[in-house]
Each structure stands twice: as structure tokens, then as C-alpha cells.
A and B are shown apart, each in its own frame.
Chain A
Amino acid sequence: MPIQCNNIGCKKSAILKRPKTSDKICKECFFQSFETEIHDTIVKNNLFHPGEKVAIAASGGKDSTVLAYILKLLNDRYNYNLNLFLLSVDEGITGYRDDSLETVKKNRDDYDIPLKILSYEELYGWSMDNIVKQVGRKNNCTFCGVFRRQALDRGAAILEADCLVTGHNADDIAETILMNILRGDISRLSRCTSIITMGENSIPRCKPLKYAYEKEIVMYAYFKKLHYFSTECIYSPEAYRGYVRSFLKNLEKIRPSAIIDIIYSGENISIRDDIVLPNRGICKKCGFISSQNICKACMLLEGLNRGLPKLGISKRHKRCKFWLEQCKHILICPQGSKMTSLGRTQHMIQIKESLFNSFL
């Protein structure tokens, strides 16, 4: 038996229970509220200014697909007067990105937004496959982590964008707040809730879906029949971030407002004056944010260019070391084919998580 939409005056039958409000609403009212809330977020936080060139970080996944669709729609509906384009990075790892890049190309055609795919060759002068040839399989994870972290910021700079938008949603932000609390990472904690942050190279990054629940993003994509890419199916329940995510999802099940409540808490935590935060300096070579004089990426590049690829790897980052052990280069080397599909998936997730952390 149909349930009537909670919106006053609407006689249609409800298709969705909204997690934020518990409202039961019909498809049309859902579209309308979801889109309007994102518009309100954009306006209230002054995310964009007329005439700006806005790079949408596009992975082909659900969040960036919904983000691209909605930004295009709002730009037309409310005359933001933005020059939107999709930005993707192709690491040049044979076989890795093909499906997701196909999805991004489909986004380009479906939503009529120009697409720029930048290769590592264009960003750094070295493709991942070539790096592997130079340094061997043992060390390539160091490169892939460091290079990935800067890739979107670099791309946005090369294409002279005024702003880079990413598809991080409310669940992602809440998860990151919890992660930073659990790790005692005060400087990340204070940064990760901001809707606008300075990218590693002073091009602002912003997150228009910051208050949008994952459930609604997926429902929106489903009911709008937006096509997205999802082989990287499911978090491994064992991984640390996986636990946090499960914990959050379990909380949401009991009390759906938990996600927005955590974001509210995160936004309102203030850091005592006597806490010294690590200095975020600037790389002397490329101007990206770096705690050292020369950033990791420049260090590695210099090594590659001088034919001394080990330069910069010696003091290996903990996280990279972790990858090395975990992944055994399954994506890059032919041994990869021996992995099960789930093993491969988990590897991609690890890479993505680390990438993800560095965004926030």
C-alpha cells in the first residue's frame, strides 16, 4: 500500500526515507530537495564566483558522477556562469584505469561537459610504466603514492582552473573526522571539516557534497539513471578505515542523523592555542605544500631525471612501506594476474584510501 509523500500538498507516493530528516518523500520532491540543498551549500559558503573555471575531479565513481551532473544542472538553473570541466588523471598503468576512464568519457558525452585527461607523462614527464622500467617493481609504490597525491592539484594548475571540486560526501567527511580523532591527528582534524581548503598548490579545493548523505547520492544516481563505475566494490572489513566505516554505518542504522552530528562536532572543535601544529611550508621547486624544503614529488623526479631513481626513496614514508608489503605491485607487474579479483580490489582500495586521506 502506497505511503503518501510528506511534502505538504504533494499527493504522490513516497519512494525514499531521507536519513537526515526521516521525511518520507516522492521521487520528484527528493530530486528537488537534494538539488536545492546542494545549491544552498554552494551559495551559503560562497564556493564559486561568476566566470570561474572549475575543474571537477572525475573518477567515474558515484560521487563524482553525481557531482558533475548536479553542478551542470545547477549552473544552468541558477546561472552560476561557471566554466565547468571534468579533470581525470591517467596514471598510465596498463589495464588499471581503462574502465573508469570509459565511464568518465561517458559522463562527458551525457552531461556535455568538456573533459581533460592528464597523463603522468604530462604531469611529471614520466609514465608509471616507464618509472617501473627505471626503478624496478620494488620501489614503484613510493612513486605511485607521492605522485597520485599531487596529481589533481597539478592538473588543475596546468589547466589554469580557479577551483578544484571533489565528490567527498557527508559519510566521507564524518569518517575522516573519526579517523583523525582516532589517530590524534590534530592538524588534519582541524582542516578536514572545512568545505574549502587550499590544495597543495594554493588552488582552492571544495566539496559541494559535504552535507549530502551517501545513501541519497546513490539513490539519486539510481533514480536519475546516472551511469557510474563501481568495481571497487566494498571496503575490506579488516582494514582500519574499513572498521571506522562499518562503525559509522552501524551508527547510521540506529540513528541516521549520526553522520551530520559528527560533522557538526568536527566543525565546532577548537584547538587550544598552546598546541603547536606542524608547519606547512612550501616546496622551493614547485611551490606545493611540503614539510621539507623540497617536496617528495620533486625529490623523486630529480632522482629519475638524473638517473638516480633511489634518491628520495631511502627514507620511505610509512604508508608507502605499508603498500609495498600489501600489494606486491599487483597492478603494475604481470604477477598481478595471479591475484583474485577481490585481492586486486582491496589493493585499489588501499591506494585510494591513502589518496583520499591526502585530499582532506
Chain B
Amino acid sequence: MSKICLSNSFPLTVQFGGGAELLFNNTKKHDVILPQKENPWTLRLLIAWLKENLLTEKPELFVQGESVRPGILVLVNDQDWELIGELDYELKENDNVLFISTLHGG
């Protein structure tokens, strides 16, 4: 992941909680810079990108098909993604995307 901040790059904050951070190098907060592209970045594309670029362990515990595993909650800027179109949501620069696993820790 390039840390060089080009003018045509797409900055984003990605956070993990509820145990999902264990799959991402045990780090809760990641400032990421997505490559700029012609089509808009959607959550669908972000999930695929995270799987390729940020995930360090057991992809099957995070991804299912083109989405996250059911039971992982997604919030964008503290809003439930079910309110904003889920996978089709178009990300904006500096959005804060949070993935919380509900799958364990009762």
C-alpha cells in the first residue's frame, strides 16, 4: 500500500472492531489511500480491495461472495450501511468505514 499522497489518490479511514481487527494485523484503525479510478469506489469494491491489500488472516472469516460475512456490521460515518445502499454505496473521500464483528465475544 503506497503511503505517498498523490493528488489523484483517494484517502479513507477503515476501522475494525468486535474481533474483526484480528484478521487485519490486529490493528483497529487504518488510514488507507485507495488508487484513484474512473468509476466511483463503492463498498463492494472496497471489500474486494481490503481482502487483497489489508487482510492478513483467514479471508473466509471476513468475506463471503462479494460482501462481508453475515454477522459483520458495517457503518459508514457512524451510519448503518443498510440505510445507504450497502454494497452499492459510493464512497466519498475521507469517509470513515467501520466493520464490527458480532460473531463472538458474548
Contacts from A to B (Cβ < 8 Å): 3, 14-17, 24, 59, 61-64, 167-169, 171-172, 214-215, 217-219, 222-223, 228-235, 237, 245-246, 249-250, 252-253, 341-342, 345, 349, 352, 356
Contacts and interface: CB of A to CB of B under 8 A. Distances in A.
B80 A341 contact: no
Interface stretch (B1-9, B29-37, B44-52, B71-79): B71-79
Interface string B59-89: 0110000000111010100111011000000
A171 B85 CA distance: 24
Nearest to A22: B82
User: Main SS of the interface on chain A?
Assistant: helix
Contacts of A341: 22
B91 interface: no
A232 B75 CA distance: 22
A61 B105 CA distance: 5
B73 A249 contact: no
A91 to B, nearest CB: 17
Contacts of B58: 342
28 contacts: A3-B83, A14-B83, A15-B79, A16-B80, A59-B106, A62-B106, A168-B106, A229-B105, A230-B19, A230-B105, A232-B104, A233-B18, A233-B19, A233-B104, A233-B105, A234-B22, A234-B61, A234-B104, A235-B104, A245-B71, A246-B69, A249-B70, A249-B103, A341-B22, A342-B22, A342-B58, A349-B104, A352-B106
A1 B94 CA distance: 16
Contact of A228 (B79, B82, B105): B105
A276 B103 CA distance: 36
A63 B106 contact: yes
B102 interface: yes
A139 to B, nearest CB: 28
A349 B19 CA distance: 13
B20 A233 contact: yes
Contacts of A168: 106
Given A231-B19, A237-B61, A341-B22, A61 B80 contact: no
Contact of A215 (B60, B78, B102, B104): B102
B93 interface: no
Contacts of B79: 14-15
B11 interface: no
A15 B100 contact: no
Nearest to A348: B104
B18 A62 contact: yes
Nearest to A217: B102
A155 to B, nearest CB: 18
A214 B102 contact: yes
B57 interface: yes
A304 B40 CA distance: 67
Nearest to B57: A342
Given A230-B104, A234-B22, 7 more contacts: A228-B105, A231-B22, A234-B103, A234-B104, A235-B103, A345-B22, A349-B104
A15 B60 contact: no
B12 to A, nearest CB: 19
A32 B71 CA distance: 24
B39 to A, nearest CB: 21
A252 B22 CA distance: 24
Given A17-B80, A249-B70, A218 B104 contact: no
Contacts of B57: 342
Contact of B78 (A15, A214, A218): A15
Contacts of A24: 83
A355 to B, nearest CB: 11
A342 B19 CA distance: 11
Q: Which 7 A-B pairs have the closest CB atoms?
A: A233-B19, A230-B105, A249-B70, A17-B82, A230-B19, A249-B71, A61-B105
A218 B73 contact: yes
A218 B18 contact: yes
Contacts of A222: 17, 75, 100
A233 B103 contact: yes
Nearest to A214: B102
Nearest to B60: A237
A3 B60 CA distance: 33
A229 B106 CA distance: 9
